[in-house]
Amino acid sequence: MNPVLTKIIQESISKCSPQNKNPLQKAVLAGKKLMMDQQTHNHMTLQKDPASRAPNVIATTISTGVTGLGWIMYKISKHTMSIEVLVLSGIILMCWAIDFAERAYGVKFNNDMIGDCTKKLSANLMVKLNISHDQLNEQIRKGYEEQQAHLRKAE
């Protein structure tokens, strides 16, 4: 596997909260099984449509496919899968899909393409979850303020 993808997977796992490590591992395993199962593998756009592998559309192809896969797993969980597990498993499965495209079809990914794919995946998941950009920014701001308050208490 491309060392950049390996690093992204390792960092995603390391960022997962302790209570979600096991659910993340299960989600990634289930997603990989779905991606590579003969019954579903042949339905992957990447597999059945050579035009989807073109450099100008491959990030959209992979991010859309992984979003759909993650959303199916989220729905199967009856919306009990945590957002953290949904997002981190999506990033990890995206890396596996990129690796598949590189090895099976010789698609060459650079850091910009991987970054574009990650941004599109994140944006797609936010749309599926009905989370607006403003809501996301507000939560980031609140988290930052809470972190700063905690650091001040620790001093």
pLDDT tens for each residue of 99-110: 999 998 898 888
- Could you give the CA distance from residue 126 to residue 83 in angstroms, rounded to a whole number? 10
SS3 81: coil
Residue 20 confidence (pLDDT): 94
Residue 86 confidence (pLDDT): 94
Top pLDDT among 32 and 131 is at 32
Q: In b/e form, how buried is each residue of 122-147, taking b as 16+ CB within 10 angstroms?
A: bebbbeebeeeeeeeeeeeeeeeeee
Residue 56 confidence (pLDDT): 83
Q: Taking all residues of the chain, what is their mean pLDDT, rounded to a whole number?
A: 87
**DSSP letters spanning 33-78:** HHHHSHHHHTT-HHHH-GGGGSTTTHHHHHHHHHHHHHHHHHHHTT
Look at the chain and count its residues.
155
Tens digit of pLDDT for each residue in 5-56? 999 999 999 999 999 999 999 999 999 998 887 776 566 777 767 777 887 8
- The count of structural domains within the chain is 1
- Could you give the CA distance from residue 102 to residue 77 in angstroms, rounded to a whole number? 31
Q: Which pair of structure tokens corresponds to residue 36? A: 């590579």
pLDDT for residue 136 is more than 80: no
Question: What's the average model confidence in pLDDT over 133-141?
Answer: 78
| Residue owning tokens 């990890």 | 92
Enter the pTM of the model: 0.83
- List the domain range (segments joined by +) for residue 49: 3-154
Question: What's the average model confidence in pLDDT over 62-67?
Answer: 93
